[in-house]
């Protein structure tokens, strides 16, 4: 199928979708759990969030994955650049979510290369919703994946963000959004401090402080661990594209937030 | 009962080759030139919308001459092949070598088994980690694969172009010099001025995705 034997040139190779291509070749990942089985003991990602600011949008996530009451991974990454102008964050069953992200990243780039133009931000969000909907049977068996999507809309010239639910519902958030075990806590923190005119620097501070607020009350969410040097992943997306916020800036914000939370 | 005329295999191959060559000669050529930061691809192309040069993968690009629908089919197939391999294994496992050998098989198969061969020549370029590690592969209509160093040209005037390029080529050219060399080679080979350029680079300093199209301003300032 792969390697030296090339993919056949003609039909039934589909148009511009990578997921469609995998389907047509029988290579699509199969998400199936036998009926009645309840997989347990899988790592779960916890809290991720995004908020809009004047120039775009900031997206952040803690670094912990848990298995029940135990810490499964301390350094996991839950926020990923999806393409040049968008990022995706994940919560829920980590293994499935990370594969979903990989598929999503390849899909966006594949479309861009085949068509010679990027999908609209709306188009990317709708496609992600479709991927999430494909996971519904798994979600019914407890393997839930709920991503968030944020990006810079090149047409509207502003940052936008979307949250999802397990049935593939897609909700555009006006100011901020969060998903995962500490989402409620992060959102209630943001509700009290968010202003629509925040700038990028302030948005990074608020994002980190909201994660700290969530970690104070939700044991699954990992707060910044300054002793080990574990800091949240923070990405900023604006007209220049998506880029990771400097570690020094995140560290300063984390130190302040931890101090204030005491 | 009618007996089909016997055609000698030599004759058949010769006819098909001549047919393909004629088709390719009608199109305009493309050159690839290695420069200090990567590979420059330069095509004579009056259209701003229909591209002959395209990104394939992180460090790999594709260029095609001949019949548009045929090299466009190949371009998409190369991208699909690359994305599938990268998704199944790892991004680093996608190489120009792998893609070029695969599509030399495809074109060879079509040339022998189809009534009408593809009237195309394609070029697959890869920028290496360091200068001297770049790869340039040419694949002709019958699947013949050429591995080139420094410069390469495809299309009806490829021989004249390559000769002109070799005359002016040296290692470590800057991008501006490479563009001028390409433009000058077209002038020598075609004996006329171009109606428009399409240019792109694989630049190793460009991050994960090395491919970048050059803007009209960039070209105009040099040419």
Closest approach of B220 to chain A, Cα-based (Å)? 23
Residue in A3, A5, A7 closest to B80 by CB: A7
And the tokens for A78? 């839950």
Contact B142, B21 (CB under 8 A): no
Is the C-alpha dihedral spanning A5, A6, A8, A13 positive or negative? Answer: positive
Contacts of A116 in chain B (CB under 8 A): 51, 54
Cβ-based neighbours of A56, under 8 Å, separated by 6 or more: A152, A158, A159, A200, A236, A237, A238, A239
Residue in A5, A21, A116 closest to B80 by CB: A21
Domain B9-222 bears CATH identifier 1.10.10.10: no
Q: Which segment of A130-144, B118-132, B174-188 scores lowest on mean pLDDT? A: A130-144
DSSP string, chain B: -PPPPP--HHHHHHHHHHHHHHHHHHSPPEEEEEETTEEEEEEE-S-SSS-SEEEEETTEEEEEEE-HHHHHHHHHHHHHHHHHHHHHS-GGG--HHHHHHHHHHHHHHHHHHSSS---EEEEEEE--SSTT--EEEEE-TT--EEEESSEEEESTTHHHHHHHHHHH--TT--HHHHHHHHHHHHHHHHSS--S-EEEEEEETTS-S--EEEPPHHHHHHH-
Q: Which residues of A are catalytic?
A: 46
Closest CA to A95 of A125, A74, A65, A124: A65
Cα-based angle B98, B100, B101 (whole degrees, multiple of 5):
70
Q: What is the DSSP letter of A199?
A: -
Residue in A9, A106, A113 closest to B87 by CB: A106
Annotated domain spans of chain B: 9-222
**pLDDT score recorded for residue A7:** 66
By CA distance, what is A4's nearest residue in B? B102
Closest approach of A63 to chain B, Cα-based (Å)? 24
Burial A51-81 (b: 16+ CB within 10 A, else e): bbbebbbbbbbbbbbbeeeeebeeebebbbb
**pLDDT score recorded for residue A10:** 64
By CA distance, what is B56's nearest residue in A? A113
**What is the pLDDT confidence band of residue B58, given thresholds at 50, 70 and 90?**
very high
Q: Is A27 in the B-facing interface, judged by CB distances under 8 Å?
A: yes
Residue range B69-77: mean pLDDT, rounded: 93
Closest approach of A114 to chain B, Cα-based (Å)? 6
Phi first, then psi: what are they for A82, rounded to 5°? Answer: -95, -40
Phi first, then psi: what are they for A23, rounded to 5°? Answer: -60, -45
Mutation to test the B interface, candidates A2, A18, A26, A113, most B Cβ within 10 Å: A113
| Beta carbons of A2 and B88 less than 8 Å apart | yes
Residue range B149-177: mean pLDDT, rounded: 95
What is the full per-residue pLDDT of chain A (262 aa) written as tens digits?
Answer: 444 566 667 655 668 999 999 988 888 887 777 777 777 788 888 899 999 999 999 999 999 999 988 999 999 999 999 999 999 999 999 999 999 999 999 999 999 999 999 999 999 999 999 999 998 888 888 889 999 999 999 999 999 999 999 999 999 999 999 999 999 999 999 999 999 999 999 999 999 999 999 999 999 999 999 999 999 999 999 999 999 999 999 999 999 999 998 8
Q: In angstroms, rounded to a whole number, what is the distance separating the alpha carbons of residues B146 and B138?
A: 5
**pLDDT score recorded for residue A2:** 44
Closest CA to B214 of B72, B45, B93: B45
Contacts of B88 in chain A (CB under 8 A): 2, 27
| ipTM of the complex as predicted | 0.93
**pLDDT score recorded for residue A153:** 97
By CA distance, what is A99's nearest residue in B? B87
| Beta carbons of A6 and B81 less than 8 Å apart | yes
Residue in A5, A6, A106 closest to B83 by CB: A106
Residue range B107-125: mean pLDDT, rounded: 94
Q: What is the pLDDT of residues B82-104, one digit of tens each?
A: 999 999 999 999 999 999 999 99
**pLDDT score recorded for residue B31:** 97
**pLDDT score recorded for residue A5:** 61
| Beta carbons of B84 and A113 less than 8 Å apart | no
All structural domains of chain A, each given as residue ranges with its CATH number in brackets, are 46-261 (3.60.20.10)
């Amino acid at each position: 199928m792969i390697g030296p034997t090339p993919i056949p040139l003609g039909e039934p190779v589909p148009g511009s979708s990578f997921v469609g291509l995998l389907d047509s070749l029988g290579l699509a990942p199969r998400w199936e759990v036998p009926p009645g089985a309840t997989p347990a003991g899988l790592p779960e990602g916890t809290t991720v969030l995004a908020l809009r600011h004047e120039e775009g949008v900031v997206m952040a996530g803690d670094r912990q994955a848990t298995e029940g009451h135990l810490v499964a991974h301390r350094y996991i990454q839950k926020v990923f650049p999806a393409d040049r102008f968008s990022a995706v964050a994940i919560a829920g069953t980590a293994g499935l979510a990370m594969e979903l992200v990989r598929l999503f990243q390849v899909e966006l780039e594949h479309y861009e290369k085949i068509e010679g133009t990027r999908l609209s931000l709306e188009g990317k969000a709708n496609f992600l919703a479709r991927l999430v909907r494909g996971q519904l049977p798994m979600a019914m068996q407890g393997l839930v994946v709920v991503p968030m999507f944020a990006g810079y809309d090149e047409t509207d010239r502003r940052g936008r963000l979307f949250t999802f639910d397990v049935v593939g519902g897609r909700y555009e958030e006006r100011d901020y959004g969060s998903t995962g075990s500490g989402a409620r806590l992060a959102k209630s923190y943001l509700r009290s401090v968010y202003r629509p005119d925040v700038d990028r620097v302030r948005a990074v501070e608020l994002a980190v402080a909201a994660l700290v607020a969530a970690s104070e009350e939700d044991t699954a969410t990992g707060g910044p661990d300054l002793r080990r040097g574990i800091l949240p992943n923070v990405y900023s997306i604006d007209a220049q594209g998506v880029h990771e916020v400097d570690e020094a800036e995140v560290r300063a914000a984390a130190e302040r937030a931890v101090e204030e939370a005491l | 009962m009618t007996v089909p005329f016997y055609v000698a295999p030599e004759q058949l191959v010769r006819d098909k080759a001549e047919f393909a060559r004629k088709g390719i000669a009608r199109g305009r050529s493309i050159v690839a030139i290695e420069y200090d930061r990567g590979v420059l691809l330069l095509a004579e192309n009056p259209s701003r919308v229909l591209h002959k040069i395209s990104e394939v993968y992180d460090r790999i690009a594709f260029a095609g001459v001949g019949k548009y629908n045929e090299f466009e089919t190949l371009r998409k197939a190369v991208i699909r092949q690359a994305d599938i391999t990268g998704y199944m294994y790892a991004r680093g496992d996608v190489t120009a070598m792998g893609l070029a050998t695969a599509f030399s098989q495809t074109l060879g198969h079509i040339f022998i088994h189809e009534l009408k061969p593809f009237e195309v020549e394609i070029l697959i370029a890869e920028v290496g980690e360091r200068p001297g590690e770049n790869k340039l592969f040419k694949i002709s209509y019958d699947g013949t694969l050429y591995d080139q160093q420094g410069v390469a040209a495809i299309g009806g005037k490829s021989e004249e172009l390559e000769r002109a390029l070799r005359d002016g080529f040296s290692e470590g050219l800057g991008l501006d010099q490479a563009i001028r060399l390409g433009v000058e080679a077209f002038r020598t080979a075609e004996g006329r001025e171009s109606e428009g350029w399409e240019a792109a680079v694989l630049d190793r300093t460009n991050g994960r995705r090395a491919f970048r199209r050059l803007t009209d301003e960039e070209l105009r300032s040099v040419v």
